[in-house]
Amino acid sequence: MLKPLLWKPEEGVLEVLDQRLLPAETRWLRCDSASAVAEAIAGMAVRGAPAIGIAAAWGAVLAIRSVAGQEDWRQGFDRQMAALGAVRPTAVNLGWAINRMRESVAGVERAEDAVSACEAEAARIEAADLAANRRIGELGSRLLPDGVTVLTHCNTGALATGGHGTALGIIRSAWERGALKGVIATETRPWLQGARLTSWELAEDGIPVSLIVDSAAAALMAAGRVDAVIIGADRISRQGDVANKIGSYGLAVAARAHDIPFIVAAPSSTIDPRLARGDDIEIEHREASEIWAAAGLSRAPKGVETLNPAFDITPAGLVSAIVTEKGICSPAEGQGMELLQPSA
Ligand SMILES: CSC[C@H]1O[C@H](OP(=O)(O)O)[C@H](O)[C@@H]1O
C-alpha cells in the first residue's frame, strides 16, 4: 500500500514522499529534526489533514530525541512543539496530534521514558488513522448505489492519510465491492492535488478516473453525469460545518441545486469539539505565485492583486452526510449530531 511517510527509528529520520514532485518524480526527503518536518508540512511536501497530523507526531519524536540529554528537556520539547504546531492553521489534525504528543509525556519524569512514550504514541496515531480509514471506507461505501459515478475534489487518498484514504477510502471500498462505475476528479487548482495526486493514485489502483477542470463540475452535475460528491475535510465544527480545500463550497452548492448527495469523509480526529461554528475556522492564505505559475509567471503583473485562500467552509445545511470511523451523521437533516459532540 502507498504510504507517504516512513519512520526509520534506527536512522532517526522520517522519510517523506515529496508530493510537490508527484507524479513526475518520486523523491523522498529525509527529515532528521522537528524543524525539518515543519518545513516539509509548510512547503506541502507532505499535505492532507491526517497525514499532516501523523508527520507532526513523528516530528515530536525527533524533537524529544533531540533534547533527551538536556536538564531542561521538557522546555526544549515544548518550544519545538509550539513551532511545529504553527505551520498550517486550518487542518485541526496538526494541533490535535501535537496535543496528543504533549499529553504522552505529561506524567513522565525521565527523558528516556519520554522518548519511549512519544514513539509509542506516534505509532498509535498512525495505526489508528489507517484503521479509521478502512472503517470509513466500509461505512461510506454502503451509502452508494451500484454503478455509481463519484465526483471528488483535491486528494484524500493514501497520500493524505496513514493509508487507504478518507473520501478515496470510500471510493476504494466501493470499487472493491463492485459498486463503483468510475470517478470524476477535479484538478483542484492551484496546487493540482486532483490532477497530480488523485488521478495518479486511482490509475495506479486500476480505478476508472476522468480528470476535469474545476469549473466543469457543475455542468457535469447538470448533465446527470454525477451520482454523488465525496470530499475530505480539514476541520469540522460541532454543528457540521466543514472546512476543506477551496472549491468544496461551490461543489456543495451545485450538488444541492441538482439534488446530488454531498458526502464528507473524515476520521473523528478532524472534528474540532471546541468549535461551535465553521465561521470561526482560520482559513490559510497561500502565496500568489501558486496561482500565477499556471500563467508562466512567478508573481502578479503590475497593478494586479491576488487572493489565494487554500480552504473554504461548507455550511452544515449543505452536507448530506459526514462519515467517520465512529458512524455517520447528516448535518443537513440534523440527524446523528451526537457523533460530532465532544463525548462521541
Ligand atoms: C484526507 S483530507 C485531505 C484534505 O487536505 C487537503 O488540503 P491540503 O492538500 O492543502 O493539505 C484537502 O483539503 C483535503 O480534503
ipTM computed for the complex: 0.95
Q: Does ligand 1 lie within 6 Å of residue 235's CB atom? A: no
Q: If you measure from the C-alpha of residue 260 to the centroid of ligand 1, how many angstroms do you get, rounded to a whole number?
A: 22
Q: Compute how many other C-beta atoms are within 10 angstroms of the C-beta atom of residue 145.
A: 10
For the cut 70, the answer to whether the pLDDT of residue 141 exceeds it is yes
CB 160 near ligand 1, within 6 Å: yes
Instruction: Identify the residue whose C-alpha is closest to ligand 1 atom 5.
Output: 48
193 is in an annotated binding site: yes
Residue 225 in marked binding region: no
Which of 341, 259, 287, 323 lies closest to 43 in space, CA to CA? 287
58 pLDDT more than 80:
yes
- Comparing 107 with 131, which gets the higher pLDDT? 131
Closest CA to ligand 1's atom 13: 245
59 is in an annotated binding site: no
Cα 232 to averaged position of ligand 1 atoms, centre (Å): 7
Q: Could you give all domains of the chain from N- to C-terminal order, each with its CATH number?
A: 5-133 (1.20.120.420), 139-340 (3.40.50.10470)
Active site includes 241? no
pTM, whole model, 2 decimals? 0.95
Which set of grid coordinates corresponds to residue 286?
Answer: 497561500
Residue 61 cell numbers, joined: 519524536
Cβ of 244 closer than 6 Å to ligand 1, yes or no, is yes
129, 234, 241, 272: the active-site residue: 234
The predicted pLDDT at position 104 comes to: 97
Reported as a single tens digit per residue, the pLDDT across 203-231 is 999 999 999 999 999 999 999 999 999 99
Please give the sequence-ordered ranges of beta strands (E in DSSP) within 200-305, or none if there are none.
209-212, 228-231, 235-236, 242-245, 262-265
